Structure 1
Amino acid sequence: MYLPPLRIPVRTIGARTFDFSRRVAVMAVVNRTPDSFFDQGRTFALDRAVAASFEAVAAGADWVDIGGAPFAPGEPIPVEEEAERVVPVIAELRAGSDVVISVDTFHAAVARRAIEAGATVINDTTGLSDPGLLPVVADSEATLVITHSLATPRTFYPRPHFDDVAGEIAAFLAERVERALSAGVPEERIVVDPGHDLNKNTLQTLELTRRLSEIADLGYPTLAAVSNKDFIGETLNADRSHRLEGSIAAAVVSIVNGARIIRMHDVAASVAATRMTEALLGLREPAFLKHNMGDVNV
């Protein structure tokens, strides 16, 4: 059984503490955008986004990731508009829960306002594209997710090529981690994400998932954002509303290969799959024992 060689397995993120040597965190997704790739604007209205956040907590999410701008290519979202989308959701969720809250942004200005509103993680999916982001995180107590992606934010990246997909991604992340450490972000506040599907085709993402242990070997908690991604749709010939089973399978394989945070849309199903995987790996005990435990079979 592979267990990632975590440099600092016990992490305190906001009000919650995780021992990632024995626990996998489930991150829920709430996008306050009219054009998010999966929910297509279902949680764009403020009340819907807030309700979805609390529903995720009730379903067992350890973590809620709130975004105000899609990753996909398109017109840039003005920084002020992005902040106005995410900050009210963060503030309302923080007022009613101690759940880990991350903001999916690469803008330093949005990150600063999100932290002030109660976010405890900055989830940058662009590989530290904004040089102002690191000082903002370093001057706070927030955790930073460093993600592998190659394109300038919101631009196309045609025909991505890798000679060694996992090795090149690991090297990229190691370099970005060193950059964060040099800027004053301590290693106990760093998470890495290889960026499933981000500037990668389906074959590359499938290989990355098989070789995810090479990313986990960096020693930082690895986040696997696999839910409903196009590599699942293309593999199964499934549209976006029929990718749950493939998402669960990808999440389980990621956990077995060292992921310690999974970013998922269907929280209840993902929590159940994660807890079962933890038990199968010997990381947790069953909730109770009854079957064939006494003098009479039950």
Structure 2
Amino acid sequence: MEITHHNKTLSLNSPVVMGILNVTPDSFSDGGQFQQQAHALEHAMQMLADGATILDVGGESTRPGAVDVTQQDEIDRVVPIIKAIRERSDCWISIDTSKAAVMRAAVEAGANIINDVRALREPGALEAAATLQVPVCIMHMQGQPRTMQSAPDYENITQEVAQFLSQRIDACIDAGIVRQNIILDPGYGFGKTLSHNYQLLAQLEAFHEFGLPILAGMSRKSMIYKMLDKTPQDILGGSIACATLAAAKGAQIIRVHDVKETADALKVVAMAVRENHELGE
């Protein structure tokens, strides 16, 4: 399994780490830390050195209750750091946005992947992604960031998330996006209760029916810190446990804050999976 952009190909035969780079003042666990470009660039280079394969740059917080950011403000936040990273590295860069104009500006600056929590449902987003011909990650979310945690409700969460993703896959293909360049994200923490999140983790294998890469992002989220009764910054063990479980269940991309520790954990998972495969041959 692989994704491609122009002459770049990323093999996903073993799970890879996507390092989170929020250039925002209000993200839930690291808001304000990397607003200054020098700090953001230093952190980006450190994540690559620590084992990140993809850097996910975001200029708008999608935590519950987050304030909206204007299109221009978001562009002003993400484009300079994407350009700075691209000048120093040929790594894969993802733009975490739902806005068509930001997608275009970010890809022009050097981004290779669009990571959209709204699954390309905002005005012009689907058309922009199809025109840009980059891999896209489409995520399930019930509601909108400001209100998504008010009263999440499902009859069968895994089935309903799969149905939504199936519809969005069809929409992407109809728009002209190459099927093998579609990445699926069940949307941990986005319009889900604690129980919903762990049901989705327990049943992650269900999403392999699509034959597409799966992204799992649970790092420092409330599904971990609320269960452990700790702060988002104090749940490294819980975040790594979720990452390890997701990778063992076949997720190809693991989106995290703590790159070095997660990369080590994924090497262990990859080794165990490889040995198990060889035993079965």
* Same fold flag (TM > 0.5): yes
- The amino acid across from 1:79 in the alignment is Q
**Corresponding residue number in structure 2 for 1:76:** 68
Offset at residue 155 of structure 1 (A):
4.0
Offset at residue 13 of structure 1 (A):
4.3
> Which string of whole-angstrom CA distances, capped at 9 and with x for unpartnered residues, describes residues 112-170 of structure 1?
00000000001001122313111111112311000001223544452101111111101
Point out where structure 2 has 5 or more consecutive residues left out of the alignment: none
Offset at residue 271 of structure 1 (A):
0.6
**Corresponding residue number in structure 2 for 1:289:** none
Change in Cα spacing, 1:156 to 1:213, as seen in structure 2 (3 Å) is closer
Q: Does 1:193 align with 2:185?
A: yes
SS at match of 1:262: strand
Q: Does 1:85 align with 2:85?
A: no
- The amino acid across from 2:158 in the alignment is A
Q: Does 1:38 align with 2:29?
A: yes
Asked if the contact 1:74/1:155 (under 8 Å) is kept, the reply is no
**Corresponding residue number in structure 2 for 1:267:** 259
Q: Give me the CA root mean square deviation.
A: 1.7
From 89, 96, 107, give the equivalent of 1:97: 89
Offset at residue 25 of structure 1 (A):
1.1
Asked if the contact 1:13/1:100 (under 8 Å) is kept, the reply is no
> Which string of whole-angstrom CA distances, capped at 9 and with x for unpartnered residues, describes residues 23-49 of structure 1?
111000010011111113111112111
1:1-298 alignment runs, 5 A limit: 9-13=1-5, 16-20=8-12, 22-72=13-63, 73-282=65-274
Distance in 1, matches of 2:105 and 2:177, equals 18
Distance in 2, matches of 1:270 and 1:16, equals 24
Distance in 2, matches of 1:75 and 1:10, equals 35
Distance in 2, matches of 1:203 and 1:276, equals 28
SS at match of 2:86: helix
Distance in 2, matches of 1:28 and 1:284, equals 28
SS at match of 1:158: coil
TM-score (norm 2): 0.94
SS at match of 1:259: coil
Change in Cα spacing, 1:226 to 1:25, as seen in structure 2 (3 Å) is same
Offset at residue 269 of structure 1 (A):
0.5
Offset at residue 51 of structure 1 (A):
1.4
Offset at residue 14 of structure 1 (A):
6.0
> Which string of whole-angstrom CA distances, capped at 9 and with x for unpartnered residues, describes residues 241-288 of structure 1?
211100111011111222110001111101110111010111799xxx
Moved over 6 A (4+): none
Asked if the contact 2:142/2:148 (under 8 Å) is kept, the reply is no
Asked if the contact 1:28/1:267 (under 8 Å) is kept, the reply is yes
**Corresponding residue number in structure 2 for 1:295:** none
Identity %: 33
> Which string of whole-angstrom CA distances, capped at 9 and with x for unpartnered residues, describes residues 153-204 of structure 1?
5444521011111111011001011001000001121101000011111110
Change in Cα spacing, 1:13 to 1:57, as seen in structure 2 (3 Å) is farther
- The amino acid across from 1:260 in the alignment is Q
* Number of aligned positions between the proteins: 276
Offset at residue 108 of structure 1 (A):
0.2
Asked if the contact 1:170/1:218 (under 8 Å) is kept, the reply is no
